[in-house]
Amino acid sequence: MKILYFDCFAGISGDMTLGAFLDCGVSGAYLQTMLEKLGVPGFHLEIEKTKKNGIMGTRCKVVCDREEHAHRHFADIRKIIEDSALEEEVKRTAVRIFGRVAEAEGKVHGVVPEHVHFHEVGAVDSIVDIVGAAICYHSVAPDAVYASAVNVGSGFVKCAHGLLPVPAPATAEILAGTKIPVYAKAAEGECATPTGAAILAELASHRDRLPAMNIETVGYGFGEKEFEVLNALRMFVGEC
């Protein structure tokens, strides 16, 4: 049985998830080719094998080739995904992940999920993060997915609605619907984003300890910020 384990000692975000999958062996060329099936122009991936805190890992950043002004509703994003040339299982997973964000944002702001007006999450980079995570997940094709407790960080984060506490309200709402514990340690700032939380909530169930398995690959997906703790999502893929 193939197992995928998310070790969220520094939280989780969309770009960290993509970086960790790539560091575990998913081909960057394959990911880019599959993302082209999404039919959303004006972006490319910057993938870099690099070192942070003395540890080798992968940084994956979605770069928009033109300025993005579109603010999309969940219905718009779902249509983009469902009308794409992606495989059906990838579409379903991506829509479910976005749906978790829409439900959380809707509850926080008092809006029907279908009418949630995305700002940051509606931007091209976040669409690519979520669809890319779905592509990578189905490429690895694990039989079981588990996650550690999530370090959400501390302090405040700036967003379209102003200065908000960490975890951001949508992130807190997404994780509140799971049995995945949260904590804050050695990180001043936002560690877990709504995108990352939704990926985790959709794909994984909680395991307090690394499950028994023969480890095949270990990957580190780096975040952009610098914390006291190594800012990376560690991913294990193995067999039991």
What's the pLDDT tens digit per position in 166-221? 999 999 999 998 999 999 999 999 999 999 999 999 999 999 899 999 999 999 99
Instruction: Over range 82-90, report the average pLDDT.
Output: 97
Instruction: Over range 8-34, report the average pLDDT.
Output: 98
| Cα separation, 146 vs 32, whole angstroms | 26
Lowest mean pLDDT among 6-15, 33-42, 111-120: 111-120
Instruction: Over range 51-75, report the average pLDDT.
Output: 85
Q: Do 11 and 191 meet the contact criterion of CB atoms below 8 Å apart?
A: yes
Q: In 3D, which of 237, 203, 217, 220 has the Cα closest to residue 20?
A: 220
Q: Would you state the pLDDT for residue 123? A: 74
- In this prediction the pTM is 0.95
Per-residue pLDDT at 46 exceeds 90 = yes
| Cα separation, 28 vs 30, whole angstroms | 5
pLDDT 10s digits, 111-153: 887 777 666 555 788 899 999 999 999 999 999 999 999 999 9
- Report how many domains make up the chain: 1
* Range of the structural domain that residue 195 is part of: 2-239
